């Protein structure tokens, strides 16, 4: 096994390390992993990086970004061993995408502000993915996202396509209608109807979050944390 120990390592060193770990003389655990077996590891590492961002810890973020990068290199190595793509193909594809979707930087298209730049990106993405119907852009939102986050992203795309409320008053009215529907469903004691009505209320809440400029996922997280603190404070009160 050839590997040079250094004080500072490069991306090429990372590729070599992964090759060694997956090799015959490497780590038994690393060698037996598959795309499926480390799928949740990938998700977990991304959430941990997000938490580092939330608490503003740059040192922790550096570490967690490394863990996310490890997952990327790990999956690419597994695929390369199976005769598919490698990490260099991932990097090349990413660079090509960045160039193609920034014609206002690398081409002759104009973008005077962030909104126009995003519109360029979305239009090119739609063409590249051969999305001929507006509804296809909604279905393309990853189904593995947390449900509330996915709902709000669908709402954002739907708004661009003219499929959702166009003002905050209508969004509030939508919330009220959904709440009324949940009340009616609860009176029937029909679990399926209640579940459907509750889902519609949550979706309406996600749409309202879009209008308010909030992230529904963050709002619910803060509400959960506040509830826990309230419970802790209640237990701390003398009897």
Structural domains in the chain (count): 3
Q: For residue 239, what pLDDT band results from cuts at 50, 70 and 90?
A: low
- Residue 196 confidence (pLDDT): 95
d(CA 95, CA 106): 12
123 and 138 belong to one structural domain: no
- Three-state DSSP at 163 gives coil
Percent of the chain scored above 90 by pLDDT? 62
57 and 85 belong to one structural domain: yes
82 and 174 belong to one structural domain: no
Q: Provide CB contacts within 8 A for 30, sequence distance 6+.
A: 21, 22, 74
71 and 126 belong to one structural domain: no
Please say which residue of 90, 112, 141 terminates a domain: 90
Work out the average pLDDT over 154-181: 85
d(CA 210, CA 155): 7
pLDDT of residue 238 exceeding 70: no
pLDDT of residue 62 exceeding 90: yes
Work out the average pLDDT over 129-136: 81
**Residue 208 in domain:** yes
pLDDT of residue 158 exceeding 90: no
- Residue range(s) defining the domain that contains residue 112: 101-130
pLDDT of residue 82 exceeding 90: yes
**Residue 191 in domain:** yes
Asked if 220 and 148 count as a contact pair (C-beta separation under 8 A), the reply is yes
pLDDT of residue 164 exceeding 80: no
Q: Which helix (H) or strand (E) holds 149?
A: helix 147-160
With b for 16 or more beta-carbon neighbours within 10 A and e for fewer, the 99-138 pattern comes to eebbbeeeeeeebeeeeebeebbeebebeeeeeeeeeebb
CA angle 53, 12, 56 (to 5 degrees): 10
Please state, in angstroms and as integers, the Cα–Cα distance from residue 139 to each residue in 53, 112, 158, 159, 220, following that order: 29, 30, 11, 14, 24
d(CA 178, CA 136): 25
Q: What is the pLDDT of residues 193-212, one digit of tens each?
A: 999 999 999 999 998 988 88
**Residue 96 in domain:** no
pLDDT of residue 166 exceeding 80: no
**Residue 125 in domain:** yes
- Residue 17 confidence (pLDDT): 95
- Residue 1 confidence (pLDDT): 65
- Residue 133 confidence (pLDDT): 81
Q: What is the pLDDT of residues 1-50, one digit of tens each?
A: 678 888 999 999 999 999 999 999 999 999 999 999 999 999 999 999 99
Percent of the chain scored above 70 by pLDDT? 98
pLDDT of residue 175 exceeding 70: yes
pLDDT of residue 124 exceeding 80: yes
d(CA 204, CA 176): 9
């Amino acid at each position: 096994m050839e590997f040079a120990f250094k004080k500072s390592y490069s991306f090429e060193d990372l590729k070599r390390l992964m090759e060694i770990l997956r090799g015959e003389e490497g780590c038994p655990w690393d060698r037996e992993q598959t795309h499926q077996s480390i799928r949740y590891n990938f998700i977990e590492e991304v959430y941990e990086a997000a938490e580092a961002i939330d608490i503003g810890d740059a040192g922790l973020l550096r570490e967690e970004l490394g863990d996310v990068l490890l997952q990327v290199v790990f999956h690419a190595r597994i695929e390369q061993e199976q005769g598919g793509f490698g990490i260099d193909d991932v990097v090349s594809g990413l660079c090509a995408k960045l160039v193609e979707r920034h014609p206002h930087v690398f081409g002759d298209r104009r973008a005077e502000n962030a909104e126009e730049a995003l519109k360029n990106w979305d239009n090119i993405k739609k063409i590249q993915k051969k999305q001929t119907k507006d509804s296809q852009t909604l279905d393309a939102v990853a189904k593995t996202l947390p449900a509330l986050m996915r709902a709000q992203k669908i709402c954002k795309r739907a708004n661009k396509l003219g499929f959702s409320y166009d003002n905050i008053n209508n969004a509030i009215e939508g919330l009220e209608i959904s709440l009324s529907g949940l009340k009616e469903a609860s009176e029937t004691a029909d679990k399926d109807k209640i579940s459907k009505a509750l889902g519609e209320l949550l979706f309406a809440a996600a749409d309202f979050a879009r209008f308010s400029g909030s992230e529904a996922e963050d709002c619910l997280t803060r509400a959960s944390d506040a509830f826990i603190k309230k419970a802790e404070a209640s237990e701390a009160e003398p009897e």
